[in-house]
Structure formats: structure tokens, C-alpha cells
Amino acid sequence: MSRLLHLCAFAWCGMMIMVAEAHAQRMRFEAVADPPEVVLGSSVSLRFTLYDARGSEFVPPDLSAFDVVMGPNQSFRTTIVNGRVRSEMSISYTLMPRKVGTFPIGPARIRVGGKTVHSNKVEIRVLPPTHVPSDSEALPDVFVELVLSDTVAYVGQELLVDLKLFTKHNIDSYSILDEPELKGAWVEPLRRFDTRTRHEFRQGVQYLTKVLRRMAVFPQQLGLLEIPPWRLQLAVVEGQDRGLGFFFNTRVRPVVVETQSYQVQVRPLPMPPPADFSGAVGEYAVKMRVQPSRLSTDQTLQLLWIVSGVGDIKRVEPPPVPLSTDSFDVYEPRVIEETIYEDQGVLRGKKVFEVLAIPRYVGQWRIVPSFSWFDVDSVRYQRAVADPFFVEVMPGDGLQRTLSDTATTADRPGRPYPWAVHTHLRKDWPNWWGSWSFWLLLVLPWVGGAMVIGSSVWLARQPVLSEAARKQRAAYKLARQRLSQAKKYLAAKAYRDFYDVLSRALIEYVAFRLQLPMAEVAKATVEHRLSEKGVPPQLRSRYMQLLEWCDKALYAGQAQQLPHEQLYAEALEVIAALEPYLRLQRDG
């Protein structure tokens, strides 16, 4: 009974620690100045907000450069979104600047759970009353803009695109007249982002601003990514009067506005990538596990890579397996979890790769998994290497297999240590001299030596194939495997996954056959290379049209409307028709 109580107490403490850690990860203390630029004689609102926590002993920063007109005013709000309770504790001031200049405001402090938490710093710029540029009349009272997080990106990088409203008048409602299609990019609309109204200055004129839409855009091709303009219709409130009708309708005036267009330069990744790079571009964290630490030759070893972060998680492929196929029967990597979710205004993803392996020999192994990704902030490849996992393999119920010579394998990953050798001694058989087994063993080394020498000479005369050449030879087989996987998604009516795998089958087949690096694959390049290989124009057109249909399904929201069965059959025919041209070129 005492042991049970101890276990319950231990489990309760662990749960409390997990809850505290999750709470600490959500909690944040934020300072916002609205507007960050103000004309002398106008007021500015300074707000400190503590999210998902209760605080006490608030200490404001130095506000001596301003007159405090109002405050501190404290408010508390609790909301429930999708079953999750969120809280906001706010302390606000209304300030009046005393003079022109730029005034930094340091962090505020507050006590949360016995610890002191600091807010971020803010800066308020005070402009002179006469600071109005000569071209201020060029800006209308109401307009919209596209605001991009970056105009230079890499394939697979997440870009945030905001549709932002600037207005001097009240807006009753809005409707989108033209939502353009982005070709060569995967677009995912976001729902949870900051929709608060703020004050901003443009050319010395103060506007009320609000983000109407936010999208996560992931470039899929090299070159220029065109972001066409958006057209909206705004219902602008006229004056302060209300109509005299029964429902007191507000009088509005329809105004059609249009954003500017953008071009994003999509660059290739630096070459060469690390050996364990598998397509992750963005900001990532990875956890690696190898379990169990003790097993028998009849049991299965599990390797896990838990990858999460900001980026196109769908492009992330399984990393290389740090096991020798001489010592383990290694199964193909598979994805056991893939999720995409929103977090604080960005799109995040999580992917879990699993590799199963069965050891062939008794012994001890040192396994070191790793994972590399391209970090867009530092513009360089980052690599995470796990601490070595030591695995002990014991004899199973079946046939025990051992290694008799491991002196050269001590420092190789996934290979046994020298002290893991098992030697078995047996008594010599009586009357063995001159028997048929004696003569057989006498001849066998000579025959075996001749075979080894002959095979070595034959292998030496064979050309050494590079990784690209091996992929070239296996391209058709890999494409058929992809298509088989796509057929399973089609049968399950998982249409987006179907078109994702179908697109990969088409692109990888041609890229491997033509020995094109995946980072350099672009439609214009592929079509030009197919033309060089003698592929007829009609067949090239069918192949490019298939890629267009896949893009429309993946990036234009048409995955449900397309003729799935027909496109699958067309992909089978096109790859089979391309095979004679590309295979003959390879063999020639």
C-alpha cells in the first residue's frame, strides 16, 4: 500500500511539472505602443498585457518623457477557444508627449508565480506638428496593401502575407472581389492572428490599420514568385448620421480598392547540402530516440525522429538511417505522424519518422542519429546530432548468429565493439584425416579464392556509380512505388495527399532520369531537357499538363473537383511513354 501511495504521489508531481511547463510556454508579457509614431499634441496608448497568467507587483518603466493623462488602468479578460482557456491581464496608460524626438521605453516588470517577468522594450517617435510631406495628398483616405514578411525566400520557406487596411473613416464591412491564384506556391490561410486595430503614420498622416487576411505561403519552385494584386470592395460609412428607416441602417458608400503586386525571388539552397539533409527549410527542432536499449535477435529496434518547426513540413523526407545493413535488417522509413497547426500567427508543422530494424548478430552497438536543416535566419545549414545510444543485443529463441572478426568495426556506426565477440569451441571429429570432408575442405579454399579473384577483377572493370546514377537506374521503380502509394490515397479519398504523392512521382522520375538535383528542378528546365532527349512535343505537353493539374489541386484548392481516376491513369501512361526515351538515353 505504501508503495502504491508513493507511485501515485510521484505521478501527481510529474503531472504538475508538465502542467507548469506547458503554462510557462504559453505565458508571455508584451508591451505595445499605439501608435508608435505620433504628432506632438496627440496622445499615445501604452499597454502591457500578461497572457495566460495572473501577476502582481507590477512595476512600470520610466515614463518621465511623457505626461500621464490616464492610468494605470487594469483589466482582465478570459476567453475559451476550442476548449482551451486563454486569459489576458492588461495595464494601460494614456500618455501625452512633451517634446519632439524618439523616446525608448524600457521593459516593465511583474511577479508571476514567485518569479519576475520582464516585458519587451518599445519606442515612440514624436513628430513636429508641421511634419507633413508635400506629397501627402497623394495618399487616399482608404487603401489596402499587401505586407510580406520577406521578398527573398528559399523553396519550402514560410512567408507571411498580410492583407492590411489603412483608413481614416469607419468601415462597415468588406468583400473580396478578386482573390488571385498563386502559381508555384502552396498557400494556407491562417485564422488565428492579431486582428486588433492600430494607429500608423504614412507620409505624416495617421491612419487606423487592421489586418484583414493572413496567409502562409510556401514557394515550391525556383525563380520569381508572382503575387498578383487583390481587389476589395469596402463599405465606407458616410458621416455620423444614421438613416431614418425602421432598422436605423448606417449610410455607406461602396469603394473598390486594389493592392499592389509583388515579386518574390526564390533562390536555390547553397550547395552542397549535408549528407543527412532531407529537405527541411525554416526554423526547426528535432528529438531523436533509439529504443529499447536491450533486445534479442528476435526483437525489433525502433528509431524515431520527431521534427517540428516553421516551414513546409510536407517537403521533409526521412533522414539517413545510421545503421549498417550488414548488421541489421532495416525496414523502409515511414511517417507515423504528420500535423499542421497555427501558433501565434504562424503555421507550424510536426512530423515523426520511424525506422524499424532487426539485429542480425549478438553484441553491443553504438548508434548516433542526426538531422540537418537549412535555417533561413542564419542562411546556413544547421545540424542536430544526438548523444550516442548504446544498444545491447542478446541471443534470441531462434538461431544465434555471431561475428568472428570485429577488430575493424569498433568505431563504425551500427557495428559491434571488439569485446562483443562470441567464440564457440567444439571437439575435433575422430578419424577425420583422409575422409571425404577432409578433401572437400582442402579443395574449397582454392575454388573460393579463384571465385573471389575473378569477381574482384570483374567488379574493378565496372564503372563506379554515383548516388545520382543509382537513382537514375531506379527512377522507374521508385515512380511505380509512388504511384502505388498515390492509389491508396485515392481509394481512401485523401485527395490532397493523392495529388502531393502524384506530383512527387512525376517530378522525381524525370529529375532522377535526367540526373537533375531536386533544388534545380523547374518546369522550364525540365521541358527543355526533355526536348533535348528527343521526347515528342505532344508527350512533353501531356507531362507538363499533369504537373499543372497537380499544382491546381495542391495550391488553388481544386483537389475535390478534378477527375482523380483519369489523372491517375494519365500519369501511368505518361511515365510509361517517357521510359523508352529516357532509358535508351541512359543505356546509350
CA distance readout (Å), 506 to 501, 527, 531, 546, 548: 9, 13, 16, 8, 11
CATH number of this structure's domain 25-127: 2.60.40.740
Q: Please tell me whether residue 83 adopts helix, strand or coil conformation.
A: coil
What grid cell was written down for 253? 458608400
CATH architecture for segment(s) 467-587: Up-down Bundle (1.20)
Look at the block and give the residue holding cell 514578411: 149
Q: What is the DSSP letter of 416?
A: B
Q: Where are the domains of the chain?
A: 25-127, 136-267, 284-420, 467-587
Confidence at residue 461, expressed as pLDDT on a 0 to 100 scale: 59
578: burial class by Cβ within 10 Å (0-12, 13-18, 19+)?
Answer: buried
Phi and psi (nearest 5°) for 529?
-70, -35
Confidence (pTM) = 0.53
CATH number of this structure's domain 136-267: 2.60.40
Residue 393's nearest CA partner among 409, 367, 416 is: 416
- Peptide bond between residue 104 and the one before it cis (omega within 30 degrees of 0): no
Confidence at residue 288, expressed as pLDDT on a 0 to 100 scale: 92
Q: Angle, nearest 10°, between helix axes 537-555 and 564-587?
A: 130
**The two domains 25-127 and 467-587 share their CATH topology (first three levels equal):** no
Q: Angle, nearest 10°, between helix axes 495-513 and 475-491?
A: 170
CB-CB neighbours of 129 under 10 Å? 10
Confidence at residue 412, expressed as pLDDT on a 0 to 100 scale: 39
Residue 511's nearest CA partner among 588, 573, 582, 569 is: 582
CA distance readout (Å), 75 to 45, 92, 100, 112: 15, 9, 31, 17
Q: Are strands 370-375 and 109-112 parallel, antiparallel or unpaired?
A: unpaired
Please state, in angstroms and rounded to a whole number, the distance separating the CA atoms of residues 63 and 72. Answer: 12
Please state, in angstroms and rounded to a whole number, the distance separating the CA atoms of residues 14 and 425. Answer: 52
What grid cell was written down for 100? 519632439
Question: Alpha helices of 41-179 — where are they, by DSSP H?
Answer: none
Contact (Cβ atoms closer than 8 angstroms) between residue 233 and residue 198: no
Q: Does domain 284-420 have CATH number 2.60.40?
A: yes
Q: Digits of tens for pLDDT over the chain (588 positions)?
A: 445 444 454 444 444 444 444 444 467 888 888 878 877 777 788 888 888 888 888 889 988 888 887 778 888 777 665 556 677 888 888 888 888 888 899 999 989 888 888 889 888 888 887 544 444 456 788 999 999 988 899 998 999 999 999 998 888 888 888 888 888 888 888 888 888 888 887 777 788 899 999 999 999 888 899 999 999 988 888 765 444 443 445 678 888 898 998 899 999 999 899 988 989 999 999 999 999 999 998 889 999 999 999 998 888 999 999 998 888 988 889 898 988 888 878 889 999 999 999 998 899 999 999 999 999 888 999 999 999 999 999 987 754 444 443 333 333 344 443 333 333 334 344 455 556 666 777 777 777 777 877 766 665 555 544 555 556 667 788 888 888 888 888 888 888 888 888 888 888 888 888 877 765 667 777 888 888 888 888 888 888 888 888 888 877 667 777 888 888 999 999 988 888 888 744 443
